[in-house]
Amino acid sequence: MPPIEGWAQADGTRAFADRAVASRHLPAAHFRPAWGGLTVSSLGLGTYLGAADGPTDRAVEEAVRTCLGSGRVNFLDTAINYRNQRAERSVGRALAGLIEQGRISREEVVVATKSGYLAPDGESGLAAGPWIERELLRPGVLARGDLVDGSHAMSVSFLADQFERSRANLGLDSLDLVYLHNAPDVQIPSVGRTRFLERLTEAFTFYERLRSADRLRAYGLATWDSLRAPRSDPGYLSLEEAVGVARAVGGERHGFRYIQFPFHLGLPEAAVLRNQSVRGERLTVFHAASLLGLGCVTSVPLGQGEWTGPGSTPSGLTVTQEAIQFARSAPGALVTLIGQKRPEHLSENLEVAGRVPWDPEEFRTHLP
């Protein structure tokens, strides 16, 4: 099957939102403006957890169909290393089926993936070591000297290889968004800040070339610790510095437009810690990102199960739903990723889309 052409468009994503508001009776505030005129849902589907097997493939495919078909989600998040490339393929199969059936158009959906970690092919029949040797090391795609912590790389030859594999896995001609996956978290402590910024410049330059060739719409940084860390931490990342790199290689119309980081009741740093600086003013990550033109995509709103449980809260939501409502209501949050695959859990979580996000004052009352 030939790859699906196109990418998310302003008109398409707006049509998705308008249809959901009119026919699904969702509040307009569930949909938010994103860079490039896109309209994205405040909830997105994450595809991280699960075994590299057929049943999980089918569960991910069904989750994609449920999310897009419900009108509640038009933002899909995956990574080439999730389940050894099988997560991307699951997303691709589900999306292709929905488009073929006329239930969705390519222009209505934002598809994000990530590169950086080594990602052996879980369906190749080879163990990880032999696969990496055959596919990456022996052909010269990856030099051993480019490896950090035995599992991560951001050399241009490696990122180019991963980009083409992601396109093939997803069945898409062009990608909406590619993140460098935990690059500052892994690279800065190992190679130092100066060398990391040199590698970041090379990677951003490569992604700008892909944008010029109409193969990529935007790129970003998906992180775990580096954006939540205090400025004194060895792995800390300055957003202003990263945007400066993007401007240096891509000008003011550069494609560095998204960041991703964990945010939940137990990890609220992005909303409370003033660890960023923009033009000399100390700001939180959410505030700094908004001034720098970056969309904030937050992950693990349930703390990988920590913020789940039976019963209802004073707001009328379940414990799980309130944790999701907290994350999506943070001022400056663009999309909150949910990763449940079981239909009953996914259904419960998607009900939050029918609620208006808390206003800033109500959000502050829930901060720990």
Q: At residue 138, does pLDDT exceed 90?
A: yes
pLDDT value for 134: 97
Q: What percent of the chain has pLDDT over 70?
A: 100
Report the interhelical angle of 54-69 vs 343-350 (nearest 10°): 30
Give 242-256 pLDDT, tens digit per residue.
999 999 999 999 999
Encoded tokens for 123: 């369906």
Report the interhelical angle of 193-212 vs 183-191 (nearest 10°): 140
Give 121-134 pLDDT, tens digit per residue.
999 999 999 999 99
Q: Binning pLDDT at 50, 70 and 90, where does residue 315 land?
A: confident
Residue 329 contacts residue 357 (beta carbons within 8 Å): yes
- In the DSSP assignment, the letter for residue 115 is E
CA separation for the pair 105, 122 (Å, rounded) = 29
Give the mean pLDDT of 27-45: 98
pLDDT value for 49: 86
Q: Binning pLDDT at 50, 70 and 90, where does residue 342 land?
A: confident
What single-letter amino acid sits at 82? Y
Q: Binning pLDDT at 50, 70 and 90, where does residue 136 land?
A: very high
CA separation, residue 43 to residues 132, 297, 327, 346 (Å)? 35, 9, 10, 11
Q: At residue 280, does pLDDT exceed 80?
A: yes
pLDDT value for 368: 85
> For the chain, what are the domain ranges?
10-365
The sign of the torsion formed by the CA atoms of 57, 59, 63, 69 equals: positive
Q: Binning pLDDT at 50, 70 and 90, where does residue 46 land?
A: very high
Q: What φ, ψ does residue 232 adopt, rounded to 5°?
A: -80, -10
The DSSP H or E segment spanning 363 is helix 360-365
Q: How many Cβ atoms from other residues are within 10 Å of residue 217's Cβ?
A: 23
Give 89-123 pLDDT, tens digit per residue.
999 999 999 999 999 999 999 999 999 999 999 99
Q: What φ, ψ does residue 185 adopt, rounded to 5°?
A: -60, -45
Q: Binning pLDDT at 50, 70 and 90, where does residue 310 land?
A: confident
Q: Binning pLDDT at 50, 70 and 90, where does residue 312 land?
A: confident
pLDDT value for 180: 98
Give 194-238 pLDDT, tens digit per residue.
999 999 999 999 999 999 999 999 999 999 999 999 999 999 999
pLDDT value for 343: 80
CA separation for the pair 357, 353 (Å, rounded) = 9
pLDDT value for 156: 98
Least confident segment among 14-18, 116-120, 301-305, 341-345: 341-345
Give 166-199 pLDDT, tens digit per residue.
999 999 999 999 999 999 999 999 999 999 999 9
Mean pLDDT of the chain: 96
The CATH label, of 3.20.20.100, 3.30.565.10, 3.40.50.300, 2.130.10.10, for the domain at 10-365 is 3.20.20.100
What predicted TM-score, i.e. pTM, was given to this entire model? Answer: 0.97
pLDDT value for 11: 98
Q: What percent of the chain has pLDDT over 90?
A: 92
